[in-house]
Amino acid sequence: MPRSPLPQRDGVDAQWVRTPDRVPGHEPPWATMRAYLRERLAEGAPVDAMLAAGEIVDGRGRPVAPAEAYRPHTVLWFHRELPPEPPVPGRLEVLYRDERIVVVDKPAFLSSTPRGGHIRESAVVRLRVELGLPELTAAHRLDRLTAGVLLLTTARRWRAPYQQLFATRGVHKTYEALAPRLEGPFPRTVANHLAKPRGSLIAVAVPGRAPNAVTRVEVAEGRGGLARYRLTPLTGKTHQLRAHLSGLGAPILNDPLYPVPGEDADDFSRPLALIARELAFTDPVDGTRRAFRSGASLPWPPAPSRNRGCRG
């Protein structure tokens, strides 16, 4: 990705577009940069106001003039006004910080990285502002609905070694979940091929394909018809734990997607009962053995009340 000449705004990076060379239907290409931007940016974007204010710049930071002739292969940078986002409840607690990494206990519903409609309400953007670390970046993925331990790197120069650690499965991760109680035997290992079709909200198992998703499932505690499961993923596919427990017939409590999408994914009163409990690894820079544990609670739902009737 090219380097932005614009500083962050409230912890959010500037966006960029690159002007193309030839486009069908444009012979020659657009007459002006303004014409290209008005077509390229989303409907309703205040292109004219941004150009007049000098808020769209090229790679050298030079403002683009409203009447400037079209130039192909030019990277343009700008900040967009962000729509309001509902505040995500819960505390984003820093578990550990040094010159290279920050480890936090992320609440459910808070996106790890700025994406889609969750920009300001993301761990990365919040922490960039709170900690004064403009280059802070998440070293791995943690679903927005999942609470627990998230590792971030403090500066660009530290990203590669820690991201590579996750890419090469050098991190031991343990999760906990509440779900319907299954009969044994346990522990058991789930291994299948998960794929997320284009346009689909959920990952599905593909029969006949070599496994690309492996999870060890243990029962840590059982109460009535529910169990607290300890989950150890040996791979890192999207929605792997949610899909694997659902496939066993025990979808995680309050999961809005599995087994069938339908519930409100932003109902703050019904957090997904899944926590990234532990993260352990050997530091790729200094060789120190590190382990971090989430203090997030995983409360059992109240037992259904019994109507004992009246004695008379």
| Catalytic residue list | 143
What DSSP state is assigned to residue 68?
P
> Which tokens sit at 163?
């991201």
Q: Tokens for 186?
A: 């346990």
184 φ, ψ (degrees, to nearest 5): -65, -170
3-state secondary structure of 40: helix
Chain-centroid distance, C-alpha 78: 24
**CA–CA distances in Å: residue 192 to residues 33, 114, 123, 199:** 50, 30, 31, 21
| Beta pairing class for 147-153 and 274-282 | parallel
Task: Say how far residue 188 (Cα) sits from the centre of its chain.
Answer: 28
Q: What is the DSSP string of 119-187?
A: SSSBHHHHHHHHHT-TT-EESS---TT-EEEEEEESSGGGHHHHHHHHHTT-EEEEEEEEEE---S--S
* Amino acid in the structure at residue 290: R
For residues 152 and 97, is the Cβ–Cβ distance under 8 A?
no
Q: Cα separation of 84 and 258, whole Å? A: 29
In degrees and rounded to multiples of 5, residue 171 shows phi and psi of -120, 130
Tokens of 119: 């920009």
